């Protein structure tokens, strides 16, 4: 049984980006992800085309930006430095989030902040 993700999914400790396939998933876990609306059976729909995957990536950026806004400003600055971003100490939260997205560090930031929870 295989699923394809509609948005960012964490399953068995692995993060699957939008449009990726989760292979060999139990029926129970598959049902849960489908009920949440974050994945679908590959056999139910065609593989996501490249154009559709780009659109999912845009959705992911919006969702990622929302997730980044939920992180406390001080924590966000600390984690951003941990992943190697350089920025002025007085950077605004919005500009920091824009930098994180621009430098494609969203996944690293979110993974580190999830580990700390």
pLDDT given for residue 86 in this prediction: 94
| Domains located in the chain, CATH noted | 1-48 (3.40.5), 49-117 (no CATH)
Local confidence band at 50 (pLDDT 50, 70, 90 cut-offs)? very low
Encoding tokens for residue 30?
């598959």
pTM of the model: 0.48
**Predicted confidence (pLDDT) at residue 115 exceeds the cutoff of 80:** no
The C-alpha atoms of residue 7 and residue 63 are separated, in whole angstroms, by 9
Q: Which two three-digit tokens encode residue 33?
A: 């992800």
- Report CA 94 to chain centroid distance, whole Å: 18
- Burial per residue of 56-93, b for 16 or more beta-carbon CB atoms within 10 angstroms, e otherwise: beeebeeebeebbeebeeeebbebbeeeebeeeeebee
Of the listed ranges 54-58, 65-69, 101-105, the least confidently predicted one is 54-58
> How far, in Å, CA of 26 to CA of 4, rounded?
14
Please count the other Cβ atoms lying within 10 Å of the Cβ belonging to residue 103. Answer: 16
Does residue 104 register a pLDDT over 80? yes
């Amino acid at each position: 049984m295989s699923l394809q993700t509609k948005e960012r999914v964490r399953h068995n400790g692995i993060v699957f980006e939008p449009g990726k396939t989760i292979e060999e998933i139990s029926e129970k876990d598959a049902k849960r992800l489908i009920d949440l609306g974050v994945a679908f059976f590959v056999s139910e729909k065609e593989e996501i085309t490249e154009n559709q995957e780009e659109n999912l990536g845009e959705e992911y950026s919006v969702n990622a930006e929302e997730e980044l806004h939920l992180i406390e400003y001080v924590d966000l600055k600390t984690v951003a430095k941990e992943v190697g971003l350089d920025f002025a100490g007085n950077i605004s939260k919005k500009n920091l989030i824009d930098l994180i997205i621009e430098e494609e560090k969203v996944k690293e930031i979110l993974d580190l902040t999830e580990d700390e929870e």
